[in-house]
Structure 1
Amino acid sequence: MKIAGRDFRVLDKDLGSITHVEKAQMHAIRPVLRLGGAILMLIALWLLVLGVTGHEPGLIAVGSALIVAGWLGVAIGANDIANSLGPAFGAGAVRLVPGLILVAIAEVAGAAMAGGPVTTRLAEGIFDSAQLGTGLPAQLTVLSALIAAAAWITIATGAGLPVSTTHSIVGSLAGAGIAMLGAAAVNWVSIGIIASAWMLTPLAAAGLAGAILLFVQLNIRDAPDRRAAAQRWLHLLVGVMVGLFVSYLFTLITPGFPLWLDLLPGALAGLAAGWAMRSRVDVMLQDSPDKPRMTSLFRPALLFSAVMMAFAHGASDASNVAGPLLMILRATDGAAISGVVGVPLLLLVGAGTAIALGAVLFGRRLVVMVGSGITRLNAVRAFCITLATALIVLGATGLGLPVSSTHVAVGGVFGVGFAREWLDRRKKRSRKRLPAEEVRRRTLVRRSHVVTISVAWLVTVPVTALMGATCCWLVLWVMGV
């Protein structure tokens, strides 16, 4: 029989940490929000003046889009840096400055190497952008979508509402497309697929993170001889993780090559990483005659998973910047660009660089706060969540599906929490009954995160679609188009 207040202890603790992180994000991103508000006001004034004078409207539309998109990239980097680096920094796996540099490089690499499919989806899969043609009306339509998304993110984040940039971009592009071309031009099937991915990826992350935690708990942490278990399993875990990631990178670098040629470098890298991890574990166990701490054992794995997470984040979220800009470029020169190969590399690098700059310039305080004892996740649980999130986001990116990495990570937190509680019930561990007030508080915390994920795409997409349509009509009217 279940006793109220005994279950979900680990889940409540980790969700409480995420709640602290969200509050910290609100404070850390305030300078970025003020910058965004100023940019939007200046661009609105700029467009109003140009609408009256009529000087170089096409050039101004492109310049305005670059500025707004650049700010979006900086805001994404500043807001999401803690998801990648926070756990590794808190566990002592890396120092702050080297960690920021490493994550920034991974963000740019992810955008450049794997950002093409999602960028193409946003540029071609929301509505039939070919119907826009070229010229000023097409440019202003995409610019309106960018302004609407930026305005919603600025307003919602300033009001303490955690919203997704990905959801905002999708909604605003759909709204602007409807305003300009009508509802028939919107690819509703593609939007349905994207919305399904928003629902399914947190569930997939929950299952994968829970499975990874069960493997670690049963085979290493709870093993009768943790020292022997660490020597037996840790190097295999790290080797497989590194090998799969390197093989994935080679599939990106060498498209069209036979699969075995992509797997071979991954296998070699996995063997090397496994050997290095085995040597490190042996040294750690020699220096520690007592039972080894899991945090110390998992530091290298946690650091590598953080790099994977940053790479996945760059690959997924760079599209929020690059996708609209690609549409602007097509509307400017009329180039018939289609497919992943048609996404300019410089555009992806620029988007990744904007995200990296946001992480380095504005993410320092947030990472320190997340790495503190107040918000820090347990190192093993953080590893499971980070690795599962990275794998799911990379899988979605490969399919060209824009997803929210934060929502996927929250799904991983739920999976880890449920897995830990299942293990506790399996071992018949008893815990003290909590006061009724504390039970209610924890229930509300759990419920709030489920509601956040659900409402984010149920509310954000319609709201930003309406804002995108309104902004499109207004901008076209001001510019006299």
Structure 2
Amino acid sequence: MLSAIVQARVYAINRGVANYSHDHFVHLALAGRWPLCRSLLTLDLPTQPGVSKQQKKTKDGHFVASGLQNPPAPTPQHDGFVGFLGPDRQLHLSFSLLLAGSFLLFSWWAVDYVGSGANKVILVFATVVGMFMAFNVGGNDVANSFGTSVGAGTLTMKQALLVAAIFEVSGAMIAGGDVTETIRSGIVDLSGVSIGPTDFLNIMMSALFAAALWLLFANRMGYPVSTTHSIVGGIVGAAVTLGFVSGQGSTALGMVQWDEVGQIAVSWVLSPVLGGVVSYLLYGAVKRHILLYNEEIEQRLLEIKKERIAHRERHRAAFERLNEIQQIAYTGALARDAVAANRRDFDPTELESDYYRELHEIDTKKSSIDAFRALQNWVPLFAAGGSMVIAAMLLFEGFKHMHLGLTTMNNYFIIAMVGAAVWMATFIFAKTLRGESLSRSTFLMFSWMQVFTASGFAFSHGSNDIANAIGPFAAILDVLRTGSIESKAAVPTAAMLTFGITLCAGLWFIGRQVIATVGRNLTTMHPASGFSAELSAAAVVMGATILGLPVSSTHILIGAVLGVGIVNRATNWALMKPIALAWVITLPSAAILSSVGLVTLRAIF
């Protein structure tokens, strides 16, 4: 120790801080300034059974031996450039370059695609607006989908980005469909209105820009809102405004399909309620049959461990009270018991010492506990059920644009086979984890289950919900190329790829606030609760699609998260109030922004 302090003082004198106290020198040595000092000081730190020296130094943020607070870690030295972009500067720069490159390459391709007679200024502006919309869809919708996974600690932000990049883009590319519906008839019926291609382009661009602006605001506030409601509000606002400014005010409001708007209003309540109810029931079952059982088992194992320690200490103290002759005799009995206990035909009645007789009783209690019963019996069932729901969602939703030609029986057979395969794989996986602790095994199993659920959700989202950005933009490209308004528009592969990349960039740049809301701020998440919320949302989306109920996947997932919080009695209702308000004002806000945008675009173009 003296040598360490001398070296510390020499260092302090050289650095001009010779007036440091003795405690400061200990801090410096323990911080690893000099390996020799650190090794010398470490020798002075007492340890306890089962606790390493390093653990003793860092337990509860204090040095146990000295009672000193941990010294502050040295401040990293970064240049201004690194400080501005943060530690992920390479990914920031990579995505920035990827976005710029995608825009330039797509614009170059689109100029040739629409032909020489198209307005290139409108094309470039529409491309910017469309990518801006996809960027914000990634920051809200995709972030909402991965919020539970990141919040539960199953995926890091970079891992979520990787999963999104693979499954969102592949979903858009593989199963996104070759054509998309325009709004010639739908939420707004333009069939009875005289409208030219330029006005149609203005409606689409205004709707995209307004929806993107509203989503950007929601992203900055951390509010998960419906991108579908945003784009619908934009289209309604632009179409109605066009009717008034073009002198067709008498038919402007009649263009809006108000029953469709009413269904959107119904979804504000129906979606979160359905998601919450299913999540409450599912997570309640998971908690009751698995989590609480594991918690009880871990408590019993801990008590047995303490009993073993107390048993050993009690007999050690009793042994020390014996005289030398008694100790020799007792040691012989212990040796004979140790040999007997290792025989295959071991008979507990042969034990001579109280130590081994009591130890055998303790071990019998421990062996009678089936610690992995819940993981081997219940987790495979939940995993199989979840895989069947995800398989159904992919077959009926994710792959619906691929026209696979599968009959209903084919689909049911595939779903059943997927469930059986996942049950078997999960059961085998649970058996391989018997060497791990119970809490670690539970975390691993639900983490993998949540990753697969999130991946399936991402693929389905990429194949369907990307239409909120690509649909209006595909209509713009089609009008620029043909000069006419059709009920369906072709979706070029280049557009799908570009918008898929932009979607992932939006998740990376502006998705953190929504992820924090969904995965941490509404309620605390862990892999089991995150899996339950995602699976509940997928099941409700699938059921609502089959029944034709007006629902929003975003609202359903938020309801599912709230259901988890209700089970745990840890729901942040104060945060839910502004989120619910944002849901209600999404459509009118996007409509107002779109109205302003339409008037502006008509003045420009």
Fold conserved between structures, TM > 0.5: yes
Per-residue deviation at 1:401? 8.3
Greater CA drift, 165-174 or 143-152: 143-152
Of the three residues 561, 573, 592, the one matched with 1:446 is 573
After TM superposition, the structure 1 = structure 2 runs for residues 205-284 of structure 1, keeping only pairs within 5 Å, are: 205-223=275-293, 225=370, 227-251=372-396, 252=399, 253-284=402-433
Q: Name the SS of the counterpart of 2:406 in structure 1.
A: coil
Distance 1:373-1:469 versus aligned 2 partners, 3 A rule: closer
* Residue-by-residue CA offset, 1:256-305 (whole Å, 9 max, x unaligned): 431111222332232222221111100112434x5765323312111112
2:417 is matched by which residue type in structure 1? L
Report if aligned partners of 1:178, 1:185 keep a CA contact under 8 Å in 2.
Answer: yes
Per-residue deviation at 1:373? 12
Distance 1:158-1:241 versus aligned 2 partners, 3 A rule: closer
Structure-1 residue corresponding to 2:600: 474
Report if aligned partners of 1:118, 1:401 keep a CA contact under 8 Å in 2.
Answer: no
Report if aligned partners of 1:140, 1:475 keep a CA contact under 8 Å in 2.
Answer: yes
Structure-1 residue corresponding to 2:451: 303
Structure-1 residue corresponding to 2:203: 141
Distance 1:402-1:170 versus aligned 2 partners, 3 A rule: farther
Distance in 2 of aligned mates of 1:94 and 1:343: 36
Report if aligned partners of 2:387, 2:419 keep a CA contact under 8 Å in 1.
Answer: yes
Residue ranges of structure 1 left out of the alignment (5+ in a row): 1-27, 40-54, 422-441
Distance in 2 of aligned mates of 1:294 and 1:448: 30
Per-residue deviation at 1:244? 3.5
Greater CA drift, 180-189 or 74-83: 74-83
Greater CA drift, 221-230 or 236-245: 221-230
Of the three residues 241, 263, 277, the one matched with 1:193 is 263
Distance in 2 of aligned mates of 1:382 and 1:411: 13
Distance 1:68-1:187 versus aligned 2 partners, 3 A rule: same
After TM superposition, the structure 1 = structure 2 runs for residues 1-16 of structure 1, keeping only pairs within 5 Å, are: none
Distance 1:162-1:463 versus aligned 2 partners, 3 A rule: same
Of the three residues 529, 532, 540, the one matched with 1:381 is 529
Greater CA drift, 73-82 or 119-128: 119-128
Distance in 2 of aligned mates of 1:216 and 1:155: 36
- Note if 1:418 corresponds to 2:545: no
Distance 1:359-1:135 versus aligned 2 partners, 3 A rule: same
Percent identity of equivalent pairs: 29
- Note if 1:107 corresponds to 2:199: no
Per-residue deviation at 1:375? 8.4
Structure-1 residue corresponding to 2:506: 358
- Note if 1:58 corresponds to 2:119: yes
Distance in 1 of aligned mates of 2:223 and 2:391: 37
Report if aligned partners of 2:522, 2:575 keep a CA contact under 8 Å in 1.
Answer: no
1:469 is matched by which residue type in structure 2? S
Distance in 1 of aligned mates of 2:550 and 2:177: 11
Aligned residues: 405
Distance in 2 of aligned mates of 1:451 and 1:183: 30
Report if aligned partners of 1:118, 1:402 keep a CA contact under 8 Å in 2.
Answer: no
Per-residue deviation at 1:464? 2.1
Of the three residues 383, 391, 395, the one matched with 2:539 is 391
Q: Name the SS of the counterpart of 1:222 in structure 2.
A: helix
Structure with the larger helix share: 1
Report if aligned partners of 1:129, 1:327 keep a CA contact under 8 Å in 2.
Answer: no
* Residue-by-residue CA offset, 1:82-105 (whole Å, 9 max, x unaligned): 444454456564566454222222
Structure-1 residue corresponding to 2:442: 294
Residue ranges of structure 2 left out of the alignment (5+ in a row): 1-87, 101-115, 244-251, 298-369
Greater CA drift, 201-210 or 304-313: 304-313
Larger Rg: 2
Distance in 2 of aligned mates of 1:210 and 1:418: 7
Per-residue deviation at 1:160? 7.0
Report if aligned partners of 2:138, 2:504 keep a CA contact under 8 Å in 1.
Answer: yes
Report if aligned partners of 1:194, 1:402 keep a CA contact under 8 Å in 2.
Answer: yes
Distance 1:475-1:257 versus aligned 2 partners, 3 A rule: same
| TM-score normalized with structure 2 length | 0.58
Structure-2 residue corresponding to 1:126: 187
2:562 is matched by which residue type in structure 1? F
Report if aligned partners of 1:227, 1:292 keep a CA contact under 8 Å in 2.
Answer: no
Structure-2 residue corresponding to 1:173: 235
Distance 1:256-1:450 versus aligned 2 partners, 3 A rule: farther
Distance in 2 of aligned mates of 1:137 and 1:243: 46
